[in-house]
């Protein structure tokens, strides 16, 4: 069973599960992206600091640094299930857009997914 993220209870009163492998991978990526460093007591290096970047001034250097930070976090925590091909980060007004292209190692399927974080 692949536990759904964010954690929830299904209509039968049990732990909800992801509908597919692809959805589960997307949920895992979301966990890495939106968990603040230090938020998990027993895993203080899990996650990234992108929530803080929404408040940083826009610049090419910041976007590049953010892309490298996200790619490193995904490789550290999800390298056994995905191969990250590209990360593109854009910051427009109060929204951070993150586009990630990866290959799922289980079925070699190429996937592109976008996440956004609003303030």
Question: What domains are there in the chain, each with its CATH number?
Answer: 21-118 (3.10.450.40)
- Least confident residue range of 34-43, 47-56, 72-81: 47-56
The yes-or-no verdict on residue 57 having pLDDT over 90 is: no
Q: Return the pLDDT at 83.
A: 95
Angle at 29 between CA 23 and CA 35, to 5 degrees: 130
Give the C-alpha distances (Å, rounded to integers) separating 107 from 17, 22, 110. Answer: 20, 10, 9
- Least confident residue range of 11-15, 60-64, 105-109: 60-64
Q: What is the pLDDT confidence band of residue 82, given thresholds at 50, 70 and 90?
A: very high
């Amino acid at each position: 069973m692949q536990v759904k993220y964010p954690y929830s209870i299904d209509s039968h009163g049990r732990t909800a599960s992801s509908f597919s492998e692809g959805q589960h991978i997307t949920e895992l990526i979301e966990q890495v992206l939106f968990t603040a460093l230090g938020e998990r007591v027993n895993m203080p290096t899990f996650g990234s600091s992108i929530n803080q970047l929404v408040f940083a001034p826009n610049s090419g250097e910041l976007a590049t640094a953010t892309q490298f930070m996200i790619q490193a976090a995904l490789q550290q925590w999800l390298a056994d299930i995905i191969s990250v091909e590209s990360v593109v980060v854009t910051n427009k007004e109060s929204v951070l857009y993150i586009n990630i292209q990866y290959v799922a190692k289980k079925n070699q399927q190429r996937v592109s997914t976008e996440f956004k974080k609003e303030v």
